[in-house]
Amino acid sequence: MSAEEYLEGQVILIDKPLTWSSFQAVNKLKYILKRKYDLPKKFKIGHAGTLDPLATGLLIICTGKFTKKITEIQAQTKEYTGTITVGATTPSYDLETEVNATFPTKHITEALILEATKQFLGEIDQKPPVFSAIKKEGKRLYEHARAGEEVEITARKTTIYEFEITKINLPEISFRVQCSKGTYIRSLAFDFGIALNSGAHLSDLRRTKIGDYSVANGVTPEDFEKQLQ
């Protein structure tokens, strides 16, 4: 591909590695493309929907004039697979923070798990995690959380189209979810723990699809660089 094609606009499907931030992935591609093609300083590049550092999978990166498509891509249905671990909660609802409370799990059966999923289908009210990038009073929620400040978080409407349990090996429950823009799978895991009369956190997450775009067609930043050589 030529420099002109990247300036004109491309959609690049990246399989984001674990522990990378979405910002790091965009910066890496920007560096690779600028070095390869001597692109102008104001070369436009951005991602269509953040993935947490502890999540892997599909990160859509748009270049040039295609950065105008970001809002449209972000609005599409997303699919995730992952693991919810029951019996313990964390402040961030995932493994970014340490366990802060433990709960009984002996009462949890397959029937209870499958019944609980029904509560989350369709339009639901969901509170974003306190460790999230949403802004409140000019600061991101995670900045308030790390400063030990109490913040009132309002619930938001979100839609879960499919919530399938793919494997039960307690304390781990594997799942596949299709959901609307703005859904926090970490919050889903936390709320699912409550629905099971226990506690839970998200221990693994992978984004597999955004609209018709699939991670099956994605490459790691490392492989993207190799393809350009």
- Please identify every residue annotated as catalytic: 52
Backbone Cα Rg of the chain: 19
- DSSP character at residue 17: P
Within 8 A by CB and 6+ apart from 199, the residues are 86, 87, 88, 89, 101, 102, 103, 190, 193
Cβ atoms < 10 Å from Cβ of 228 = 11
β-pairing, 200-210 with 55-63? parallel
3-state secondary structure of 40: coil
> Rounded distance, CA 31 to CA 71, Å?
24
SS3 106: coil
